[in-house]
Amino acid sequence: MNDLNNKIEIASKLITESKKVIVMTGAGISVDSGVPTFQGTEGLWARFGKPKMNAYSEFLKNPNEWWDREINHQRSPYVLELRNAIENSRPNEGHKILQSLENKKIINSIITQNIDGLHIDAGNKSVCEIHGNRNFLRCVSCHNKLTFTPPITEQPSNCKLCDGVIKYDSVMFGEPIPKKILDNARSMISGADLIIAIGTSSSVRPAAGLSWIAKSEGSKIIEINTNETKLTNECDVVIKGSATNILKKIYCEIKKVMK
């Protein structure tokens, strides 16, 4: 039996035998949906440079000006590329497998760093989008979430509940993650006996910290990634490969076991 098949078998057994399985996903799961990654040699940051880390405070200084630039499409090539890709993206086979696994009660919840909304589009019910969802708007004060129909042609009026300023739900650089989102992620992790980290560099806090918390509370960790990450040495099973490919193999193996 080769090394990969062996790992797939061990991982599948661990997944079916665990009682509370939490999947943590990053950009790697959406690569096959055409959404560009931030990090890595082909990532947005390598090609456009790392964006300013103070985007949120700049937004708060003058939300009218920010929305004005937004509406008149005067955004950086970096933002435009990411946005186009997200608008045209559809869930790939990896997302669909995770939906089937939730449906069969094999996994409990997904905590994702992605803003593309593809886990929700795939039909997953228990999803914590820790960096928000680019397909929604949100009040900066009370965090009330709103839907919208693109393209936005005028600045959204202030929040009906608290008169707060409205921005996209996706979290900007320098923006604190809403407490109720972090609390939700924390409660998902609580009592988990298995974390599956898929396509995440596990380097962006606070999302990355959740895996370490889970580990310190006794959870096992499976990592699926094309590269080594900061989490790799902490994992019980490390499977190198693309998210879609490896998930297909694992799902195939799980179906054999479940028969």
Calculate the CA dihedral of residues 227, 128, 115, 51 and round it to 10 degrees: -70
CB 55 within 8 A of CB 172: yes
* Nearest partner of 173 among 42, 76, 28, 90, judged by Cα: 76
CA distance 73 to 204: 29
Binding site for Zn ion (CB under 5 A): 139, 141-142, 144, 159, 161-162, 164
Q: Give the nearer residue to Zn ion in terms of CB position, either 159 or 224.
A: 159
What separation in angstroms does the CA of 86 have from each of 72, 108, 116, 156, 240?
19, 26, 6, 21, 26
Q: Give the nearer residue to Zn ion in terms of CB position, either 119 or 167.
A: 167
Structure tokens that stand for 184 in this block = 């939700």
Residue 119 falls in the annotated catalytic set: no
Q: Give the nearer residue to Zn ion in terms of CB position, either 21 or 172.
A: 172
CB 201 within 8 A of CB 229: yes
Backbone angles phi, psi at 60, to 5 degrees: -65, -30
Report the SS3 class of residue 167.
strand
Query: Cβ 140 to Zn ion, closest distance in Å?
Result: 8
Structure tokens that stand for 142 in this block = 């009370």
Q: Annotated catalytic residue: which of 73, 95, 119, 131?
A: 131
Query: Cβ 171 to Zn ion, closest distance in Å?
Result: 16
CA distance 111 to 119: 10
Query: Cβ 160 to Zn ion, closest distance in Å?
Result: 8
CA distance 84 to 89: 8
Query: Cβ 162 to Zn ion, closest distance in Å?
Result: 3
Q: Give the nearer residue to Zn ion in terms of CB position, either 72 or 157.
A: 157
Burial of 93 (0-12, 13-18, 19+ CB in 10 A): middle
Query: Cβ 146 to Zn ion, closest distance in Å?
Result: 10
Q: Give the nearer residue to Zn ion in terms of CB position, either 156 or 164.
A: 164
Q: Give the nearer residue to Zn ion in terms of CB position, either 142 or 258.
A: 142
CA distance 159 to 140: 9
Query: Cβ 169 to Zn ion, closest distance in Å?
Result: 13
For the annotated catalytic residues, the residue numbers are 131
